[in-house]
Amino acid sequence: MFNIVKINWYICSMIYNKEYMAKRLESLGFATNVLERYEEHQRFYHTIEHLSEILNELESNDLLKDDDYFLATIYHDAIYIPQSSTNEQDSATLFEMESNISNISNIQRSTIISMILDTKKHTSTHPKSKMFIEADLAIFKSSLYRLVKYENQIFKEFQYVPYFIYKEERVKVLEHFKSIHEKNIEFLINYVKCREPKIGIFLGSFNPFHKGHYDILEKAEAIFDKVIIGFGKNLDKNNKTWDIPDKIKNRQITHYDGLLTDHIEKDIIHDVTLIRGLRNITDFAHEQNQCEFLKNLKPDIKICYLSCDFDHQIISSSAIRTLEKYGKHKQYML
């Protein structure tokens, strides 16, 4: 019986996939590239899956046939940068701009903008906002399995925040929503309070941070709940400042000047595992020697060694710095 229910839910949730959303947008005179925004690298919860869950909730309340609810769903998180405090305003502005060439009326446009803006504080200023906000927050009425997945996704979106700050602020946010489903939210609060995430720390001069480094980072993030990236100054290397790639700006980034063991000891208050990337056998031999030094400096240090893919074995920061002089380095950059 459980399997049948699970399969039926899965089939229902898949009705409102990206293809369905694109076709309906086109029928209303909207471009479909707004959906690509939900695949951006900083998104883990605010994705197409989230839109699908809202559409299913609206359908269960017989509201999905109303285009206002559909468009508010598609655009309410169209612009989502976790560090920004203006996502709702920016999303509403994007909708207003893209709706100018659509088939909807001015009244509809005004209604949908209000619905989008009301998701910022989850307070209704328009009659349709109440039901839309309820659909947006229906995640809190989900199964415990889905709630844990949801919390892990939100944690990933805010991984740029030091964990002790995230935990404190996240509990405050969840307390605010207790009226929606007190039992489930109490469960989430306890989960956040008791959780001990596995955190790795990827340290190096990263001068610059390139595709090979990113390959190691992705492998580490498949193992750890969170990976902190630490940029250090190496006095034996060229210390030209390179821009931090946009692709990693959603991670917690630290800077240090000195021994990496000192940085872990003094500046990182979590229990962390040091991540080291290996390109080849030469790197492995070097790291074996370094490991003994690290253990002498910090006896309790934990180290995880990860090998990069074959395609990235030739990439090094020093080679990129050389190639930059001839304008041949960009293919190796993020």
**Quick check: 1 pLDDT over 80?**
no
Pairwise CA distance, residues 207 & 154, whole Å? 30
Q: What percent of the chain has pLDDT over 90?
A: 76
Q: What pLDDT is recorded for position 36?
A: 98
**Quick check: 266 pLDDT over 60?**
yes
DSSP code string of 128-156: HHHHHHHHHTGGGGS-HHHHHHHHHHHHH
What are the tens digits of pLDDT across the range 58-109?
999 999 999 999 999 999 999 999 999 999 999 999 999 999 999 999 999 9
Hey, what are 80's tokens?
């989502």
Mean per-residue pLDDT, 273-294: 88
Mean per-residue pLDDT, 259-263: 93
Q: What pLDDT is recorded for position 287?
A: 86
Band (pLDDT 50/70/90 cuts) for residue 334 is confident
DSSP code string of 232-248: E--TTS-----PPPGGG
| Residue recorded with tokens 């929503």 | 177
Pairwise CA distance, residues 256 & 228, whole Å? 13
CB 76 within 8 A of CB 91: yes
**Quick check: 33 pLDDT over 60?**
yes
Residue 168 contacts by C-beta under 8 Å, 6 or more apart in sequence? Answer: none
Q: How many DSSP H helices and E strands does the chain contain?
A: 14, 5
| Lowest-confidence pick of 73-82, 137-146, 221-230, 240-249 | 240-249
Q: What pLDDT is recorded for position 262?
A: 93
| Lowest-confidence pick of 23-27, 127-131, 228-232, 292-296 | 292-296
Q: What pLDDT is recorded for position 212?
A: 93
Q: Give, as one character, the DSSP assignment of residue 81.
A: -
Higher pLDDT, 230 or 284: 230
Band (pLDDT 50/70/90 cuts) for residue 312 is confident
**Quick check: 203 pLDDT over 80?**
yes
Q: What is the arrangement of strands in the sheet containing 303-307, beginning at the earlier edge strand? A: 253-256, 226-232, 199-204, 272-278, 303-307
Band (pLDDT 50/70/90 cuts) for residue 173 is very high
